Amino acid sequence: MTVSTITLHNGLAIPQVGLGLFLMQDESETAWAVKQAIQVGYRHFDTAAAYGNEAVLGQTLKDCDVCREDLFLTSKVWNNMQGYEKTKQAFQESIDKLQTDYLDLYLIHWYGLDVKGTWQALEELYQAGKIKAIGVSNFTIEHLESMKEYATIKPMINQVETHPYFPQDELREYMAKEGIAHQAWGPLSQGKSDLLLHPVLKEIGDRYGKTPAQVVLRWHIDRQTVIIPKSVNPGRIAENINLFDFALTEEDMAKIADMNVETRFGRQPNDHDFIEKTSK
């Protein structure tokens, strides 16, 4: 299967669909899901130190004997490892667990207590060829603006909660102007809403012979967003990447745009208590 790509501002192509490993905590289930994903065409995998499954992902990919150059691997530095020295240590721990000598993308997981030192470490690792692209996650416009004071390399991507009930239009417009790619976590609202029961999605899906979930994921694709839907269900894993035999019309996109209720289901990026607690 051919998966479309987005080109980051440094010229690196990132597959628009990847498997998200958030909340995959059972080792055998995680390994099985990754194997299923490989079989149906996934080559992009998104993990993080905080997920606790980097080692399982690394071993499973090795067992599947997929050429490293064909893979796109993302991980993230957790809040308690932010800062220049700790970030370099965290990065080494991540690539050791993933059994690789480089990452395709490394992100700052949250806007923590020492973003400046963390970003300096990412820039150096990038310039040393240890990371092919560097970026951030859960950053607001204000966060991104503040980085301009010290960043010599601007983030290539920002991974944020995005779905039709919370399309992040203002942030998306800002990032488009700045040349920062938009990546969506929770692209289906993490099952925390009635999103996939919405009649508009069913009506559109019926016309294309697609499920409401596929309509939502295609909406992301047509908005030039990178998506990392998470599933351990083999049917859904296959369904979530089977998006490239149809496209939505402008009318379809407008109908989905009308679904926006500005409702976030995940954590607020400016949850200072959470940042402080997890930075210890």
Output the known binding site.
Answer: 109
- With a CB cutoff of 8 Å and minimum separation 6, the contacts of 141 are 170, 171, 174
Half-sphere exposure of 139 (CA within 13 A, CB side): 28
Q: Name the token pair of 139.
A: 């950053």
Instruction: State the binding site for substrate.
Output: 109
Residues 91 and 54 sit within 8 Å (Cβ to Cβ): no
Task: Say if residue 57 is exposed, middle or buried (CB neighbours under 10 Å; 0-12, 13-18, 19+).
Answer: buried
- Catalytic-labelled residue, pool 51, 106, 111, 126: 51
Active site residue 51: yes
Q: What DSSP line would sit under 18-62, residue for residue?
A: -EE-TT---HHHHHHHHHHHHHHT--EEE--GGGT-HHHHHHHHH
Count how many residues are written for the chain: 280
Secondary structure of residue 74 in the 3-state scheme = strand
Residue 105 CB neighbours (<10 A): 25
Answer yes or no: are the C-beta atoms of 42 and 17 closer than 8 Å: yes
- Positive or negative, the CA dihedral 190, 192, 195, 196 is positive
CA distance 128 to 122: 10
Where in the sequence numbering do the catalytic residues fall?
51
